[in-house]
Structures are given as structure tokens and as C-alpha cells.
A = this chain, B = another copy of it.
Amino acid sequence: MSLQDTAGTTKLMLDDLHVGQVFRSESYVMDVEKIKAFALEFDPQPFHTDEAASAGTFFGELVASGWHTAGVTMRLLVASLPISGGLIGAGAEISWTRPTRPGDELYVESEIIEIRPSAKNPARGMVTVRSITKNQDGKTVQSITSRMVVPRRLPDSV
């Protein structure tokens, strides 16, 4: 039986997942002031902090830090991937295919790619999830393939 959280959402364990399973998040609009605030704290470069200064740069316009896009993606994943015990990442491969701009409306489509019970610990396993972050035009701005630690139902709890 799946655990229920206090909000009544069914939380999924490793045993409840299958390869090819898809989850889609809500959407999130990238606010220009938040783009600048994030960049000032974590990625203070002119193409992320200032419209005028961004003109002469590689991007030629103000764009969000890729790490901001990654953070927003995580926020959307937390709300759309109901894994028991939470989303606990061991690592990830990330690529930014296209800049995220102010006003972009992002959403994330996630697919279960691999499920691997731990050989050592019967209470958990590693699940690989590919999450594609798209904008309002359906164009991919970021792809991330994450390895997550997911709890497994023990035989005597079935």
C-alpha cells in the first residue's frame, strides 16, 4: 500500500514506478525581477543582471541564469513527482539548449528512464528520471537526467 501524506496525495515508492511513466508539472512564469535577484546572488554576470549591459554580450539580451532555470525546474518537480520521502538527488546531467527569458512560462515533463533496486539495501533503490523543461512555445530550454534515491517497500510491509 502506498503511503499517504497529510494532504492526501498518494506518495510513490520504487515499486509503484515503471519505466516510461510520465509526470507533467504545472507552469511557472519567469519574473524579470526574480531573474535579476537570483543572478545577483548566484550568477552575477551582466547578461543575467542588467538589460542595458546584456546588449554587448554572447546572449545580446537579458536571460535567466541556467541555475535559476534549474531551481525553477526543481520547484516544479517537487510539486509534480510525488515520491515517498521526497526528491533526493544523487546527481544529474543537465544541458541548457536555449535561454530562458523574462516572461517565459515554463513547465516540466518527466519520464522514468530506469529503476534499479539497491543490491545492498533492500529498503531503497536508484531511479533515473529525465525531465525536460519547456517554454510557452513548447521549445526545450533545459534537459536534466537525474539519479534519485527512492524508498522500496520491504517484503513484510506488502
Instruction: Write the residues of chain A forming the contact surface with B, with a CB cutoff of 8 angstroms.
Output: 38, 41-47, 57-58, 65-67, 70-72, 74-75, 78, 85-96, 149
Chain B residues, Cβ within 8 Å of A75: 41-44
CB of A96 within 8 A of CB of B86, answer: no
Count copies of this chain in the complex. Answer: 2
Label chain A's interface by main secondary structure.
Answer: mixed
Complex Cα distance A42/B88, Å? 14
Given A65-B74, A67-B74, A94-B94: A88 touches B58 (CB 8 Å cut-off): yes
A93's closest neighbor in chain B, by CB? Answer: B93
Find A71's partner among B43, B45, B87, B94 (CB 8 Å cutoff): B43
CB of B66 within 8 A of CB of A149, answer: no
CB of B70 within 8 A of CB of A67, answer: yes
Complex Cα distance A14/B140, Å? 28
Contacts A42-B75, A57-B86, A92-B95 known; 9 new A-B pairs at CB < 8 A? A38-B71, A42-B72, A42-B74, A43-B75, A45-B78, A65-B74, A67-B74, A70-B70, A90-B95
